[in-house]
Chains A and B, each alone.
Chain A
Amino acid sequence: MLSEIFVEPFVLMADIPDLLLQTIWEGFVAGTLYALIALGFVLIFKASGVFNFAQGIMVVFAALTLVGLYANGVPAWLALIITIGVMAILAISIERVVLRPLVGQNEAILLMATIGLSLFVRGVGETLFGGETKTMITSELGLPTGITDWNVFDGRVTFQHIDIAAVVIAVLMVAGLAVFFSKTRIGRALRAVADDHQAALSVGISLHQIWAIVWFASGVVALVTGIMWGARSDVSFALEVIALKALAVLILGGFTSIPGAIVGGLIIGIGEKLFEVYWGGLLGGGTEAWFAYVLALIFLLFRPQGLFGERIIERV
């Protein structure tokens, strides 16, 4: 038994190094996509303290809107622009209808409001687009398709071009958000709101405007995530539940840290793949279903603020 845990997996890694590289790459891509989903959560949590339970369905809704518009004859790039517009309208509506009446309410009430929001958005999505699985318009958007093999260690590592594109776009998006937060007036206002609502209000920053902007930014992140995940598999309502894995990412990385979301996503993505491939068989397989949450639980026990979260100081 000890040999199966401490020796054989490493022997296998040495015996089939291309499989190890492939596993790390697959984990890296999955981790990047988890990080993108988590990024949507972080943006909203930073600005408003709301854990947006609807982030997963926003990913599905954005992707469905895009493919739905295209299916109805709208050219791909125009459909993309209209979808961004739809996410903007959704953000403004959420701020007006859901958040504004609940200003100052307990966090639990805001969480419940986002659960209600997720049910509403799911219902609207199913009514407008139906429940069938849709195919993402990958090549129509100019995204690469196809596969490249890297022959190495007497084996091969396979790279899907869409995976490479997902990583590149995720890096660009994070860099763009970092510049936005640090260099623009709105970005600085957003950070001020995140630090202290009352102080931000006192210097004339509009909370309503900031919330609408941050929900819109989160909607755009959801759209990008939906495109990338939809291109790897398909667009269906099953994508919504994958988004729940971002909860574990947030616990690892911290609810308010963008670098934390990225590092947390990568740790979970790579960790769950390595664990399933090299140790999963000992537990009957299917460990990916719980690995992220167990890891998050361990972090909660020893570092509840996450890797990059602000240290929790309680005065007694």
Chain B
Amino acid sequence: MKFRSLAIALAATAITAGGLAATAQAQEHYIPNLSYRTGPYAGGGIPFANGFGDYFTMLNERDGGIGGVPVRVEECETGYNSQKGIECYEATKGNNPLVYTPLSTGITLGIIPQTTQAKTPILSMGYGLSAAGIGETFPYTFTYPTSYWNQMSSILKYIDANGGLEGKKIGYIYLDAGYGKEPIPVLEALSEQMGFEWVGFPVAGKDMQNQGSQWLNVRKERPDWMIMWGWGAMNATAVKEAIKTRFPLDRFIGNWWAGANADLDPVGPDGKGYLSANFSGIGTDFPALKDVQKYVVDAGKSQADADKVGDVLYNRGLYNAVIIAEAIRVAQEMTGKKELTGADMKIGLENIKLDGARLEELGLAGFAGDLIGSCKDHEGGSPVFIQQWNGTEWERKTDPIEPMLEITRPLLEDAAAGYIADKPDWKGQTCS
């Protein structure tokens, strides 16, 4: 008798709990955020996660969510570790996630097959597998607003416009991981086409604060320019080593993950002149950021220090959230549904139109270049601009620099075909 009562009670509890869970899922946009606030790369992960979360909190507080449905961002700590990132995916995939933001090329590479099969999009914003920009091959992976390959082409364009590339030697210092190796194919291809030589200086993750050898090699090789694909504590160390080596900082360009306040604050005035790429606005002089300050930061609902709001990586995380929020709106409009699935979200991402007019409506006029999504182009091909450290903060130095799409697109198509060459069951899509 006792056993029967217990069984009934357990069954009732399970049904009630299941019902509650189902209700909870139906009344929210669930977005897992594979973030890292601990470990060697936390210096970059923390401001990014803060900007990402704060924008959605602002939308919830100001607008009651998106389309009347609140957004629930759930952080899962990866420590920038691919294995932990995949565990985070496994732990959250059952909650009807709309989109994944792995913030790691290694994690992105690890979950692309699973998310494609599960029909849940990945938005690896400006990182991850560059070839994923080919929408026909990668229906559920997006690298909006651009990819590492196109970023490299924009950086090379900048160098070409500032003294020419032909006959020059380019030094490439990079984190010796999937992330740092990602743009090497385009560097190789463009070096042949544009007539320059390049030499690589890999930095192992565990030696990122111990770069003496790499910079001795820089001194030996005497490159005309240096390009860096760095992350975390590697960036400040590299700039300090460049200063020690007397490498001219206005010929040293970091990518968009090597140009944050957290990277140059430790260097201070000595780092004046160092350059980096960027694609999102700097500072808080945008109405949307004022709303974030009002509804989230001042209300004590942010994990960010007030003076860190508007920093490069904070704004990058915020822009990541803006793209997702806009894709949710588009998906709601196109499907006529308030509550969405991953498959609906794919529609939203492929039909996103974040142009100047729309950014102004969102209170972010001039914050980023135009982003026009499509079924074919999951990359965006947006321009980047070059910013320069003035000793205390970043200043925008150039207008947007368009990527060399005519060169990179065929390379991306080849790479996408190469990715699926040994995957006979891979399901792409047909775009009209």
Contacts and interface: CB of A to CB of B under 8 A. Distances in A.
A242 B43 contact: no
Given A130-B46, A234-B237, A289 B40 contact: no
B217 A285 contact: yes
B15 to A, nearest CB: 38
B332 to A, nearest CB: 36
A234 B209 contact: yes
A244 interface: yes
A289 B176 contact: yes
B219 A132 contact: no
Contacts of B245: 158
Interface string B200-242: 1111111111101110110110000000000011001100100
Nearest to B204: A289
A23 B176 CA distance: 22
Interface string B239-259: 010001110000000000000
A151 B308 CA distance: 43
Contacts of A285: 200-202, 214, 217
A139 B262 CA distance: 20
Nearest to B203: A286
A26 B212 contact: yes
Interface string A140-183: 00000001000000000010100000000000000000000000
Nearest to A236: B233
Given A132-B46, A280-B213, A238 B232 contact: yes
Contact of B237 (A23, A27, A233, A280): A233
Contacts of B232: 133, 236, 238
B74 to A, nearest CB: 19
Contact of B40 (A19, A135, A233, A238): A238
Contacts of A126: 37-38, 42
A277 to B, nearest CB: 5
Contact of A23 (B42, B205, B206, B216): B216
Contacts of A46: none
Interface string A262-282: 000000000011001100110
Contacts of A241: 40, 205-206
A111 interface: no
A242 B46 contact: no
A22 B42 CA distance: 33
A88 B38 CA distance: 26
B428 interface: no
B266 interface: yes
Given A239-B209, A289-B207, A234 B217 contact: no
B216 A131 contact: no
A82 to B, nearest CB: 23
Nearest to A275: B213
B212 to A, nearest CB: 4
A273 B216 contact: yes
B244 A158 contact: yes
Given A133-B232, A160-B244, A273-B212, A237 B42 contact: yes
B68 interface: no
Q: Ordered nearest first, which 3 A-B pairs have the shortest CB separation?
A: A131-B42, A289-B204, A238-B40
Interface of A: 12, 16, 19, 22-23, 26-27, 29-30, 122, 126, 130-135, 147, 158, 160, 229, 232-234, 236-242, 244, 272-273, 276-277, 280-281, 284-286, 288-289
21 contacts: A27-B212, A30-B210, A30-B212, A126-B37, A133-B233, A134-B266, A147-B244, A232-B240, A233-B236, A234-B237, A234-B266, A236-B233, A238-B40, A238-B41, A240-B40, A241-B40, A273-B212, A276-B217, A280-B213, A286-B202, A288-B213
Given A131-B45, A132-B262, A289-B204, 13 more contacts: A132-B46, A135-B266, A233-B233, A233-B240, A234-B209, A237-B38, A238-B40, A238-B208, A241-B205, A241-B206, A273-B213, A280-B213, A288-B204
